[in-house]
Structure 1
Amino acid sequence: MGIFSYKHIEYSNNLWWQFTFAGDAPRFLRATVGAVVVILVISTAKLLRPVTPEFSLPASSDLEKIHSITAESRNTSANLAFLGDKSLLFSGSGNSFIMYGVEGRSWIAMGDPIGPNEETAELAWRFLEMCDRYNGWTVFYEAGTENLQLYSDLGLTFVKLGEEARVLLETFSLKGHKHKDMRHVLNKLDREGCSFEIMPPETVSVILPELKTVSDAWLEEKKTGEKGFSPGFFNDEYLKRFPAAVVKREGKIIAFTNIWTVAGKEELSIDLMRYLPDAPHGTMDYLFIRLILWGKQEGYKWFNLGMAPLSGLEDHALAPLWSRLGAFVFRHGEHFYNCQGLRQYKEKFDPEWQPKYVAYPCGLSLPRILTNIASLISRGPAGILTK
């Protein structure tokens, strides 16, 4: 209509680019060009905007696929994949995988790639490419020292998160004055009628209702909810995959933990730990000590006690800001999380401490990335401020 309305005006190409300087240019032309500019800007923005990814949690077939991979892993934390709350990225051969979650712009791999060492680099680069495709930040959370050079090649930097405690079972012993408190705990709870048992996976399926009762009571007493991503949570299908260690009193289960193992009895570890509020004092110590002794008897090499967050960070005046801040929280942050107390508790088992890192893109993204990690673990931002 605009063209016909102004057909009495002599047409010139100059009308399209001189109209902004000529006050008598037809309003129709000015409006048309303005509309075209707006459309071009919106269209360009949509073209440049990364495609919104569609995430899918692993199907039961995926979990069965990773069963053989985790069985050959040297790291018990590979079993976190069976929680089913993380997406999986497989290598080209299908013999390796990365488990990851996405929060905000952070694409967070839980630990290092799982699988044969010769596929680690290829899989890490695939993960980086996928993150880049969606304009995401590539993050490896709780990474070990063995792949730090690879992450540096990916253009990532890293900071220390804390230290992981591993007990060498061959040398572990309750003899001597140093471990008299452990002997006292075992003798005391034995006298009170407590006993320790290992339940195979097929038996765990039968006692799940009893374990659920213990778990619910523990959550209620702690005034907390289930976490996720890096710690486990109570889930029937997850727990049925593993043996469990239980403490009984008068035939009733008062405490339990699920047991992680790896190939060649290289490592033994636990994930979920729950006990009844009225369980005798020292019940969890009793469970830990009995399980460590059982692992030694069964020929396992290491018992993994898990990480002590912010442990081992330098507080020297010339240390990086993150290290000094983390060391301060480690010493004085017991109101939020008793990192120092956790370190001291694990120290009594005489572990060897190994550093753990978070690898992330260079720049000022670390605070947001750490917040995103906390949100994933807490199952949402609201959970960060709760226990």
Structure 2
Amino acid sequence: MTQQCETNKEKDRAQQWLRVRDILRKYSENSLAYLSLEPDKQWFFAEGFDGVASYAISGHTMVICGDPICPEAHFSEFLAQLRRFAAAHRYRIVFLMTMATHLDAYRSAGFGCHKSGEEAVFDVQTWSMAGGKCAKVRSSWHTAVHKGLAVKEYRPWDKRDPEVERQFIEISDQWLQGKHTARLQFAVGSLMLDQPCDKRYFYAVDTDGVIQGFNVLNPYRCGKAWIIDIMRRREGCPHGVMELLFHDIMAKLKQEGAEQASLGAAPFYRTADHPHADLSERAEHYVYTHMNYMYGFESLQQAKAKYNPDWQNIYIVCRPKHLSLWMEEAAFAVLDSHGFRDYVQAFLEMRRVEKAEKKKARRDKRQKRKE
């Protein structure tokens, strides 16, 4: 009986997954929309019209990934349904990385809106490496081309290649080992090679057939826009691998008639750069400038900025209106695969490293005086 129940649950999940995919193909606007298909999501479906919000529960907080996905005409009604659902379960609500487009609707529905960073977006049809702003990108691209690297697209839905997939996983594992926190999830996708769900995979390979880096793209805006959701490169890879991938991907998307591309969010970037910044926005600014050991927010923004994007504000939207410590803890808990304690441990390690560096600096100073 238990096995039969599990089988039925799997079938229901598979049917719901297909329903979510169909809604995404029609109405996705937020670049995070396709993360709704990741296995770490639950789904809240609208009643009376097509609509879905993907979420996770942490404590008494319902954390939602991006904006609700539905026809624009039903957006406010969908928010009302979400509020009723949350009230019935006594959940707080936190939307992560929402667009500025719907701020008026959120506020009218009684939600608070707090800037949480900016997203790097590009007009595919007009972007170019020409000019001084992309000089470093252009130089790196030339280096990769001269080393004989080439970009290819992997299409697992046509034919699986175990060797390509093995190298993807190998590179991802190397990348993860270099991080100070565990793998981020919820707002970052996974490879999903067994169920690619409209994803696209591009990789840079050298003359020996070794993959030196790869990118995974998710669609939004009904396939007229693409976000480079995953960017990985092999440890010790030739200079310019990521720049080569970005250039060739943009050229391919332009040829196909795509309108927009995204490199995703720069979390906590310029959150306090306006006169009415609240406490949570100022706290995010502090994290951005003082806690780069944990995640590298500043270096992440700089890595995106070199491609000369347009920066668009993103927001945390919440109810109650004021973003409490419990809501922030819930957000961190669903974003980090090891939970909120992972950030606490990383913070303590950061302080230990800082203390050791200061101690060494004082010791070196005393030694110089003696000399």
Give the structure 1 partner of residue 146 of structure 2: 191
Give the structure 1 partner of residue 353 of structure 2: none
Alignment check: 8 A CA contact 1:57 1:86 kept: no
Alignment check: 8 A CA contact 1:58 1:87 kept: no
**Displacement, 1:61?**
1.2
Structure with larger RCO (C-alpha < 8 A, sep 6+): 2
What amino acid sits opposite 1:255 in the alignment?
A: G
Aligned pairs for 1:174-213 within 5 A: 174-203=129-158, 205-206=160-161, 207-213=164-170
Alignment check: 8 A CA contact 1:125 1:154 kept: yes
**Displacement, 1:190?**
1.6
Distance 1:205 1:147 in 2: 40
Distance 1:226 1:239 in 2: 20
* Bigger-Rg structure (1/2): 1
**Displacement, 1:287?**
1.8
Residue aligned with 1:260, SS: strand
Aligned pairs for 1:230-379 within 5 A: 230-239=187-196, 241-249=198-206, 250-263=208-221, 265-314=223-272, 319-362=277-320, 365-379=323-337
- After superposition, the C-alpha distances for 1:86-133 in whole angstroms (9 at most, x for unaligned) are 110111245210111110111111111112112222222111111111
Residue aligned with 1:295, SS: helix
What amino acid sits opposite 2:189 in the alignment?
A: G
Distance 1:154 1:264, change over 3 A: closer
Alignment check: 8 A CA contact 1:194 1:247 kept: yes
Distance 1:174 1:141 in 2: 32
Give the structure 2 partner of residue 103 of structure 1: 58
Give the structure 1 partner of residue 173 of structure 2: 216
- After superposition, the C-alpha distances for 1:47-95 in whole angstroms (9 at most, x for unaligned) are xxxxxxxx99971111111222111223332110111211101112452
Alignment check: 8 A CA contact 2:120 2:312 kept: yes
Distance 1:342 1:181, change over 3 A: same
**Displacement, 1:266?**
2.8
Alignment check: 8 A CA contact 1:166 1:303 kept: yes
**Displacement, 1:204?**
6.8
- After superposition, the C-alpha distances for 1:289-318 in whole angstroms (9 at most, x for unaligned) are 322232223221111111111112235786
Alignment check: 8 A CA contact 2:179 2:295 kept: no
Alignment check: 8 A CA contact 1:159 1:359 kept: yes
Residue aligned with 1:205, SS: coil
Alignment check: 8 A CA contact 1:103 1:376 kept: yes
- After superposition, the C-alpha distances for 1:350-384 in whole angstroms (9 at most, x for unaligned) are 21111111111246652221111111011323333
RMSD over equivalenced CA pairs, Å: 2.6
- After superposition, the C-alpha distances for 1:196-255 in whole angstroms (9 at most, x for unaligned) are 112234257323233222222222344654321111134433446422011111222221
**Displacement, 1:148?**
1.8
Matched, 1:71 2:25: yes
Question: How many residue pairs end up in the alignment?
Answer: 333
Unaligned runs of 5+ in 2: 1-8, 347-371
Percent identity, aligned pairs only, is 24
Residue aligned with 1:370, SS: helix
Q: Runs of at least 4 residues of structure 1 off by over 4 A?
A: 55-58, 315-318
Alignment check: 8 A CA contact 1:202 1:240 kept: no
Q: TM-score w.r.t. structure 1 length? A: 0.78
Alignment check: 8 A CA contact 2:191 2:216 kept: no
**Displacement, 1:319?**
3.8
Distance 1:198 1:332 in 2: 39
- After superposition, the C-alpha distances for 1:313-356 in whole angstroms (9 at most, x for unaligned) are 23578642233333333333323333232222222222111111
What amino acid sits opposite 2:22 in the alignment?
A: S
Distance 2:59 2:310 in 1: 35
Unaligned runs of 5+ in 1: 1-54
Give the structure 2 partner of residue 383 of structure 1: 342
Give the structure 2 partner of residue 126 of structure 1: 81
What amino acid sits opposite 1:245 in the alignment?
A: F
Alignment check: 8 A CA contact 1:360 1:366 kept: no
What amino acid sits opposite 1:353 in the alignment?
A: W
What amino acid sits opposite 2:342 in the alignment?
A: G
Alignment check: 8 A CA contact 2:112 2:321 kept: no
Distance 1:216 1:209 in 2: 11
Distance 2:197 2:295 in 1: 30
Distance 1:229 1:135 in 2: 22
82-91 or 192-201: bigger deviation: 192-201
Equivalent residue for 2:92, pick from 132, 137, 143: 137
Distance 1:384 1:69, change over 3 A: same
Distance 1:199 1:329 in 2: 37
What amino acid sits opposite 1:59 in the alignment?
A: R
Distance 1:163 1:278, change over 3 A: same
